[in-house]
Amino acid sequence: MQTSSVKNQTKQIIALGILGAFIGALVFILGIAIGVAFARPGGLLDAGASPFAVSPSIAANPVAINDTAAEQGRQPSLNYALINDVLRRLRTQWYGEMPSSAQLTDGAIKGMVAALGDEFTQYIEPRFAKLLNEDISGVFEGIGATLRQTPAGGVQIVRTFPGSPAERGGILPGDIIEAVNGVSTQGLNSIEVAALVRGPRGSEVTLTLRRAGRTRPFDVTLVRERIEIPLVSSKMVGDGSIAYVSLFDFSQPASRQLEKHLKELLDKRPSALILDLRDNPGGLLSQAQEVGDIFLKQGVLVIERDYRGNKKVTRTTDRGIAQDIPMVVLVNGGSASAAEIVAGAMQDRGRAVLIGERTFGKGSVQSPQTLSNGGQLRITIERWYTPNDRAIHGTGITPDYIVNSAPEDLKEGKDPQLEAAIAFLTTGKTPPPTPIPTVEPARR
Amino acid sequence: MTRIEKGLAVVAFVLWSAMLVAVGYAGHMLLAPAEARTVYVQSGSALPLLDEAWGHVRAHFIGTVPSNTLRDYGAIRGALATLNDPYTTFIEPQPRAIERDHMRGQFGGIGVSFRQNERGEFVLTPAPDGPAAKAGVREGDVLFSVDGYVLPPAADFEVMARVRGPVGTPVTIEVLRGPDRQRLRFTIVRQLIEIHTVTWRTITSTVGTHPFVVGYLKISSFTDRTGAEVQRAVAHLMEAGAQAYMIDLRDNGGGALSAAIEATSAFLKDGVVAFEIRRSQPNIEHRVRSMSVRVGEDQPIAVLVNANTASAAEVMAAALRDHQRAQLVGEKTFGKGSVQLIFELSDGSAVRVTAAKWLTPARHALDGAGLVPDVEVKGSPAEQEARAMEILRSAAAKHMSMR
């Protein structure tokens, strides 16, 4: 009994041992599997060292689109092995000081976005996104200048408003902003630079500017003010028989102010009307519609196509106060976005003759998405087309009569484009061609 | 077994299992590459920020979304841009392949040079007696396809990379010839094509009544083969009786530091060629190497430089001057005194990382400053050469009169 019991026990132990070894092997493999699972791409380096560490939560999505998280789950992840290989080389070999993980991440997102080749899809770093959010109150305190991104990557002054700190301080259109309060603008986009320039009224901001014809950058210090931008100016031109109205942008009160000025002008019984949309950078689509309503009868204003291929048509209604008066719309390379919508619709529907230069070609809508790090991604989600289905984006609107204007003209108080408009409305012809301005019918 | 024994066995088994899991896990860690050993342990549901950003782009962007590869390259470029260093850059696989060939000074090819015409087409010029010329490719032929791949309108580096390949392998190209654009097909076996970076000749004149022979040596860039080429050139010039040397480093944008050291060593007996300063390492001294051929110390040297003389070329020019071995003639040099290390990545792309700065033997920084020549000549290349000749002749005259 004793022996057989021992034998049995031995058998039991051996059996248990084999079973154990078998289970053990399985568990060992499980261990490897867990290891592989945890070291999935995207979390290669430890959380502290890797700029691409997993963020604690998925972004809140301000646009009512719910497929995002699902699509993110399906799409192949970035090649973090490659990216982290580069960063590892930098960390061990680069001569300079390494930027922080957050900076590298911001840079990487900007680089990815740049690969889209769309200058309007932009990433705003968290520090600037925060400033933009604070600005939502609508109180615009700054220096009274508009900015634009140059193809070379710099940020440039497009124009300064009359009487603004920028204009009084001698800032000129074309100046490149190199730094704001000593913070380099290298790698920053126009929205980020604008966020740096803005601040509480009464506070100082120092811009470091580079200007064509000057060898060295120079500093200009300005005191920020509450900027009240006059949106409309108007006058009678020609022999006092033509009404002229200029709209500076399409922000909230644009159509109301425009209508007020027009009522006064129309009381003077003008024979024709000139709407000046030159250097008008655009603004709200709703304002484009309301401005269009003033001049256009019922019909198509603009066609929008979104990223899903959906087509949306925005129409004008039949309630305008200036639907029949002969009209010229002045445009130039600074006419963008909402200004191009209005000009394009007036041209396509035969409501007005366009005179000036080809427009900017910004016919797209950006939707802001807040990322989990607080940064903001502004993605082009829609493109605009004129009522005749001409693309605005990239191509711009070519006027019926091209009349160029040289910078010297402005300095000498000349306005060849306005002169051409007046001549056209009084005689039905544009002025004869002179070396400058050049007048030629546009090729469409 | 008693209940206690059973209990112990279960506990032991659980412990043993846990240990195995741990060992298995550790095993994985050992299998993983070094940088993957620190494992990120957090909830698997969260997404990395870049994926999050790209998810929005994919979901909402109206235009065409680029390939994942271009997205990843974009991310790398963007991360590198934050360093604010124009020399720390990312290189895509095909440009990298061309660059690598150039650094090596040789590659498998068919012996044609490319030129783009106004239509963007690639016009071929076969090298005399090269494989392409022997196969019948003629000057002016327009490249149409490579191994069945028809060139797109905006072809780039890609074309060169496709024509090149391992020595001994065939490549089939189609070309368009003549006004009627007749399409012809050639299959050519790739041969070893060497990139020559050194040309030389003798310039003979007189000093007083004596004949005076100057060895002129132009180095266009520094590849892995440049050192040997300089050796051969100097040997030929010595044999031709050169009494002085004119080293032309104009438009030489640099290249491999080791090649510049070897080239310098053909003219310098001893000493430091350059100091290399790294962020977290003691200074590295690059010294003159022992060479089989070396120019005699009594023979004057002039080095021609201009605004395009950069990097390794500046190292050579500065070393010869700091050791009072040569005078620099021409224009102020470019001023690139940083060292880039090239790391090839898994997919054939590469990253160039500024890893060090150079100092001249006299410990002058090159970066951003450039070398001001001893004799500044802003005129034509010919005027610069004439001025260098004058300097060499007067130096030789002094030497001859001292004798």
* Interface-testing mutation among B15, B52, B341, with chain A (most A C-beta atoms within 10 A): B52
Class of domain A232-364+380-441: alpha beta
Pick the CATH number of B106-194 from 2.30.33.40, 3.90.228.20, 2.40.30.60, 2.30.42.10: 2.30.42.10
pTM for the structure as a whole: 0.71
Nearest to B389 by CA among B219, B240, B243: B243
Strand A327-331: give its sheet, edge to edge. Answer: A232-237, A242-247, A272-276, A327-331, A353-356, A401-403, A439-441
Is B75 close to A109, i.e. CB distance below 8 A?
A: yes
Domain ranges of chain B: 50-82, 106-194, 198-402
Residue A53 confidence (pLDDT) above 70: no
Instruction: Give contacts of B58 with chain A, Cβ < 8 Å.
Output: 71, 75
List, in order, residues 6 or more apart from A235 with CB less than 8 Å away. A244
- The single residue of A106, A175, A293, A348 carrying the catalytic annotation is A348
Q: Which residues contact A259 (CB under 8 A, 6 or more apart)?
A: A294, A321
Confidence at A187, pLDDT banded by 50, 70, 90: confident
**B265–chain A nearest CA distance, Å:** 27
Query: B398, B403, B228, B217: which is closest to B303 by C-alpha?
Result: B217
CB A156 within 8 A of CB A147: yes
CB contact under 8 A, A94 and B39: no
Helix (H) or strand (E) holding A290: helix A285-295
Contact B68 A76 (CB under 8 A): yes
Confidence check: pLDDT of A442 > 70: no
* Residues in CB range of A46: below 8 A, 6 or more apart: B38, B39, B40
Do the Cβ atoms of B79 and A44 come within 8 Å?
Answer: no
CA atoms of B96 and A110, how far apart (whole Å) = 23
Decide if A348 is catalytic: yes
A31 pLDDT band (50/70/90 cuts)? Answer: very low
Q: Quick one: pLDDT band at residue B321, thresholds 50, 70, 90? A: very high
Q: Is A100 a catalytic residue?
A: no
Chain-chain contact of B48 with A47 (C-beta, under 8 angstroms): no
Catalytic residue (one of A255, A279, A335, A362): A362
Q: What is the pLDDT of residue A299?
A: 94
A395: which 2 tokens? 């191509």
* Residue scoring higher pLDDT (A141 or A70): A141
Q: Determine, for residues A71 and B59 on separate chains, whether the beta-carbon distance falls below 8 Å.
A: yes
- The CA distance from B71 to B49, in Å, is 14
For helices B226-239 and B257-265, what crossing angle results, to 10°? 20
Query: Is A113 close to B65, i.e. CB distance below 8 A?
Result: no
Identify all chain B residues contacting A31, using CB atoms and an 8 Å cutoff: 20-25, 27-28
pLDDT at position A58: 26
Contacts of A52 in chain B (CB under 8 A): 48-50
Q: Per-domain residue ranges for chain A?
A: 137-226, 232-364+380-441
Q: Answer yes or no: are the C-beta atoms of A436 and A396 closer than 8 Å.
A: no
As a whole number of angstroms, the distance between CA B64 and CA B393 comes to 66
Half-sphere exposure of B368 (CA within 13 A, CB side): 3
Share of chain B above pLDDT 70, in %: 87
Measured between CB atoms, which of B32, B48, B351 is closest to A89?
B351
The residue assigned the tokens 């224009």 is B331
Domain B198-402 architecture: Alpha-Beta Complex (3.90)
Three-class DSSP labels, chain B: CCHHHHHHHHHHHHHHHHHHHHHHHHHHHHHCCHHHCCCCCCCCCCCEHHHHHHHHHHHHCCCCCCCHHHHHHHHHHHHHHCCCCCCCEEECHHHHHHHHHHHHCEEEECCEEEEECCCCCEEEEECCCCHHHHHCCCCCCEEEEECCEECCCCCCHHHHHHHCCCCCCEEEEEEEECCCCEEEEEEEECEEEECCCEEEEEEEEEECCEEEEEEEEEECCECCCHHHHHHHHHHHHHHCCCCEEEEECCCCCCECHHHHHHHHHCCCCCCEEEEEEECCCCCEEEECCCCCCCCCCCCCEEEEECCCCCCHHHHHHHHHHHCCCCEEEECCCCCCCEEEEEEECCCCCEEEEEEEEEECCCCCECCCCCCCCCEECCCCHHHHHHHHHHHHHHHHHHHHHHC
Q: What local confidence, expressed as pLDDT, does residue A67 receive?
A: 40
Q: pLDDT for A256-266, tens place per residue?
A: 999 999 999 99
Nearest CB partner across the interface for A95, out of B24, B61, B354: B354
CATH of domain A137-226: 2.30.42.10
Active site residue A337: yes
Q: What's the gap in Å between the CA of A165 and the closest CA on chain B? A: 32
pLDDT tens-place string over residues B280-303:
777 889 999 988 888 888 899 999
Mind listing the pLDDT tens digit for each residue in B63-76?
Answer: 889 999 999 999 99
Distance in Å, alpha carbon of B85 to nearest chain A alpha carbon: 9
Gyration radius from chain B CA atoms: 29
- Chain B positions touching A382 (Cβ under 8 A) are 62
Chain A interface disruption, residue of B30, B41, B60, B77, most A CBs within 10 A: B60
Q: Amino acid identity of B289?
A: R
Q: What is the pLDDT of residues A377-431, one digit of tens each?
A: 999 999 999 999 999 988 899 999 999 887 777 777 789 999 999 999 988 776 5
Q: How confident is the model at residue B106 (pLDDT cuts 50, 70, 90)?
A: confident
Are the folds of B106-194 and B198-402 the same? no
The per-residue pLDDT for B95 is 83
Distance (Å) from the alpha carbon of B9 to chain A's nearest alpha carbon: 10
For residues B168 and B189, the answer to whether their CB atoms sit within 8 Å is yes
For residue A161, which phi and psi values (nearest 5 degrees)?
-85, 145
Q: State both tokens at A302.
A: 């603009």
Residue A306 has pLDDT above 50, yes or no: yes
DSSP A65: -
The catalytically annotated residue of A50, A190, A234, A337 is: A337
In tens, the pLDDT along A85-128 reads 899 899 888 998 889 888 899 999 999 999 998 888 999 999 88
* Residues of chain B found within 8 Å of residue A51, distances taken between Cβ atoms: 79
Q: Residues with Cβ < 8 Å from B220, sequence gap 6 or more?
A: B197, B198, B199, B251, B252
| Measured distance CA(B33)–CA(B31) in Å, rounded | 7
CA distance B250 to B303: 9
Closest by CA position to A177, among listed A202, A198, A200: A198
Other residues' Cβ atoms within 10 Å of the Cβ of residue A350: 7
Query: Is the bond preceding residue A165 a cis peptide, omega within 30 degrees?
Result: no
